[in-house]
Amino acid sequence: MSLLIASPAIAGDVTVEMLNKDADGNRMVYSQEIVEIAAGSTVKWVPTDKGHNVEIIASPNDMKFKSKNGKEASVTFETPGIYYYWCTPHKGMGMIGLVVVGGDTSNKAQISKAKAIGKSKKKLKAMLEQLS
């Protein structure tokens, strides 16, 4: 018999849905707002509702990425660190997310100074506080 211990795991490839509303009633959100993956893994964002995209706005390697609205998008993350992204049309409503690659949070201070608008300001601060 094996025993499973609950601890934050660094995942391989991950799929994140872009939602108008989640099961808890939160509006304009990603299904997973903080994703922890291993270096070399891919995050795929799937628009389950129209009008959403992904734009990486701060990262450890100055990555530039912006998907088209309503289109599926995938990014393979090679460089460890925190990547901060938002849905361009809904960033002011707090539709933001973080990808933590390789468990590396050494660029947390840089991410905390990145641009945030409206509800995203308070939400980004709270999300960063969750990271060790």
**Cα 14 from chain centroid?**
11
Catalytic residue among 18, 28, 63, 87, which? 87
Neighbours of 7 (CB within 10 A): 5
Q: Is 87 a catalytic residue?
A: yes
Return d(Cα 14, Cα 78) in angstroms, integer: 14
User: What is the C-alpha radius of gyration for the chain, rounded to an integer number of angstroms?
Assistant: 14
Catalytic residue among 18, 28, 63, 90, which? 90
Q: Is 127 a catalytic residue?
A: no
Q: Is 95 a catalytic residue?
A: yes
Catalytic residue among 18, 28, 52, 127, which? 52
**Cα 8 from chain centroid?**
16
Return d(Cα 18, Cα 12) in angstroms, integer: 19
Q: Is 52 a catalytic residue?
A: yes
Backbone angles phi, psi at 89, to 5 degrees: -70, -20
Helical (H) or strand (E) element with 97 = strand 96-101
Enumerate the active-site residues: 52, 87, 90, 95
